[in-house]
Structures are given as structure tokens and as C-alpha cells.
């Protein structure tokens, strides 16, 4: 497969991933999902592809111009979004959470794509777990969900089984995507993650396979496979 074919295949894969998430947002009022436009991308363990999926899903939605996207790096321990996209990480979610004077627009970064904006994780903080479980974070999620009803908000997160932060974040969002490294992550580990997410309205699983490598913005990427419970 040449690079163009691989790219269009990747685009198609992410279109498939996107569809049920968007459908859930559209049907949210009927099926009672709160904050359905907030989507957390998590996984059990490090390196399963959360940041890869977060970025590609955001780009997929933004490129098709059907919706606006806000990509938030909520992996405040090991931020990957700013690094991958080559943007400044000096002021982000952490700065907003620790200082009432920092406003939403202070941390919102515009990109070359008119309907993609980004909030980076910001600097590392000793009490980042407390900040993520604070009332200010809850109000932030509420506000972002309500004020930007038409916007899809994607949160990249830390691994579920390594720290408590992802589980805290999962309570704030309407939909969770659990990325699973195919043929790597044992079933027992996946089960443990699923039980940690039992309070969430919607949990989709995404089997991430790295079958073919392609190149987008300078990194080697392949595509994921989608499935759900
Ligand atoms: N489908 C894929 N095809 C090709 N490469 C992939 C794919 N998924 C992930 N990768 C690569 O695997 C590595 C780990 O992925 P990524 O950083 O997205 O994982 P993560 O879950 O965010 O890890 P961490 O827990 O450390 O933040 C990266 O180099 C990424 O580019
Ligand atoms: Mg990551």
C-alpha cells in the first residue's frame, strides 16, 4: 500500500470510530447521557495509543468540517499532545485549575485548522490529582459541555491502572473510549479497566493494531480497529 492509500485508509478508520460517538451526542437527550459531547480517550496501561487516537480523532473530525473540536491534554503527568504537535505547553489545564485568574480563553490555543482548538496540559504539578478532582475542574467540564454544545471535546488521559486520574476524568465525561493494544494487553487487565469505568454512561472499546505504518506530520502511524461491548 502506498502512503496515500494508507492515509485514506487511516482516515476511513477514524471515520468509523467517530460515527457512533457523534451519534451518541445527537441522541443524547433521548438516551440520557450527560455531557455527551465530552469524550475521554483512556487505556489500561501506558503506550496503548491514547495520544495517537486523541490526535487522529480530533484531526478526523476537524478535517471533515462537520463539527468543531477541542482537544484537551488531560494527561498532566506525561503530556503528549503538545510534544506530538510541536506546540507550546507553558500554559494549559493545570495553570487554569490552580489559578482562578486564568481564564478559559487564556489557555485556548487556535490551530491552522479553523475548527480545531487545543488546550495543553501545562506544567507538571505536585497536586495534579487534587486539581483534576477539584470543583473547578467539574465546573470547567460543565461549562465546556454547555457553552460549546456543538463542539466535540476530546480529553487525552493517563492510563487507568497506573494512577487514579483517568478514573476521576471518566466521571466528568459523557463518553469513554478505552483503547486496547491488540495482542498485548491481557483480557484480565481490560476487565479491570472496564470495572473501573462501570459508572460511565458510554464506554466504547477500540482495539488498536499497528499493522501498517504510514507517515503523518512526521511520525510513523498506522491505524486502529474499532469494536465495542
Ligand atoms: N495505530 C497505531 N499505529 C502506529 N503507531 C501507533 C499506533 N498507536 C500508537 N502508535 C505509536 O505507539 C506509541 C505509543 O502511542 P501513544 O503515545 O499514543 O500511547 P499512549 O497510550 O498515549 O501512551 P502514554 O500512556 O505513555 O501516554 C507512539 O509512538 C505512537 O505513535
Ligand atoms: Mg499519551
- The pLDDT tens digits of the residues spanning 29-79 come to 767 889 999 999 999 999 999 999 999 999 999 987 778 999 999 999 999
56-60: long-range pairs with CB below 8 Å, 24+ = 56/10, 56/14, 56/216, 56/221, 57/14, 57/17, 57/18, 57/154, 58/116, 58/154, 59/14, 59/113, 59/116, 60/11, 60/14, 60/15, 60/17, 60/18
The C-alpha cell of 220 is what?
Answer: 510513523
Residue 139 — pLDDT band, cuts 50, 70, 90?
A: very high
Residue ID of nearest Cα to ligand 1 atom 2:
222
Cβ atoms of 9 and 223 closer than 8 Å: yes
Percent of the chain surpassing pLDDT 90 = 70
Which residues have any ligand 1 atom within 6 Å of their CB? 43, 46-52, 75, 78, 80, 159, 208, 210, 219, 221-224
**C-alpha of residue 78 to centroid of ligand 2, in Å:** 7
Examine the pLDDT at 219 and tell me if it is beyond 90.
Answer: no
**C-alpha of residue 105 to centroid of ligand 1, in Å:** 29
Q: For position 1, what pLDDT does the model report?
A: 60
Examine the pLDDT at 214 and tell me if it is beyond 70.
Answer: no
**C-alpha of residue 48 to centroid of ligand 2, in Å:** 8
**C-alpha of residue 159 to centroid of ligand 2, in Å:** 8
Range from 21-30, 101-110, 170-179, 194-203 carrying the lowest mean pLDDT: 21-30
Q: For position 222, what pLDDT does the model report?
A: 35
Q: For position 178, what pLDDT does the model report?
A: 96
Q: What are phi and psi of 222, to 5 degrees?
A: -130, -155
Q: For position 31, what pLDDT does the model report?
A: 76
Cβ atoms of 172 and 35 closer than 8 Å: yes
Q: ∠80-166-24 over CA atoms, to 5°?
A: 95
Residue 106 sits in a domain whose CATH number is: 3.40.50.300
Examine the pLDDT at 187 and tell me if it is beyond 50.
Answer: yes
Q: Which residue has the higher pLDDT, 1 or 150?
A: 150
Range from 88-92, 146-150, 156-160 carrying the lowest mean pLDDT: 146-150
Residue 211 — pLDDT band, cuts 50, 70, 90?
A: low
Closest atom of ligand 1 relative to the 43 alpha carbon: 21
What mean pLDDT, rounded, does the chain reach? 88
Closest atom of ligand 1 relative to the 156 alpha carbon: 22
Closest atom of ligand 1 relative to the 221 alpha carbon: 4
Q: For position 210, what pLDDT does the model report?
A: 63
Name the domain count of the chain.
1
Over range 119-134, report the average pLDDT: 96
Enclosing domain of residue 56: 3-227
Amino acid at each position: 500500500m502506498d502512503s496515500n492509500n494508507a492515509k485514506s485508509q487511516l482516515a476511513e478508520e477514524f471515520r468509523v470510530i467517530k460515527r457512533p460517538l457523534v451519534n451518541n451526542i445527537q441522541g443524547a437527550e433521548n438516551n440520557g447521557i450527560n455531557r455527551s459531547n465530552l469524550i475521554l480517550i483512556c487505556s489500561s496501561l501506558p503506550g496503548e495509543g491514547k495520544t495517537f487516537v486523541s490526535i487522529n480523532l480530533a484531526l478526523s473530525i476537524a478535517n471533515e468540517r462537520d463539527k468543531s473540536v477541542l482537544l484537551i491534554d488531560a494527561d498532566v503527568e506525561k503530556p503528549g499532545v503538545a510534544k506530538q504537535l510541536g506546540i507550546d505547553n507553558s500554559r494549559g489545564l493545570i495553570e487554569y485549575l490552580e489559578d482562578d485568574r486564568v481564564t478559559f480563553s487564556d489557555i485556548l490555543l487556535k490551530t491552522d485548522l479553523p475548527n480545531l482548538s487545543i488546550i495543553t496540559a501545562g506544567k507538571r504539578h505536585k497536586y495534579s490529582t487534587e486539581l483534576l478532582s477539584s470543583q473547578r475542574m467539574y465546573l470547567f467540564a460543565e461549562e465546556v459541555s454547555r457553552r460549546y454544545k456543538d463542539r466535540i471535546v476530546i480529553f487525552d488521559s493517563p492510563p487507568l491502572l497506573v494512577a487514579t486520574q483517568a478514573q476521576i476524568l471518566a466521571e466528568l465525561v459523557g463518553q469513554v473510549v478505552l483503547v486496547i493494544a491488540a495482542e498485548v494487553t491481557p483480557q484480565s487487565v481490560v476487565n479491570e479497566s472496564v470495572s473501573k469505568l462501570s459508572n460511565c454512561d458510554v464506554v466504547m472499546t477500540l482495539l488498536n493494531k499497528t499493522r501498517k505504518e504510514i507517515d503523518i506530520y512526521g511520525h510513523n502511524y498506522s491505524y486502529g480497529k474499532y469494536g465495542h461491548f
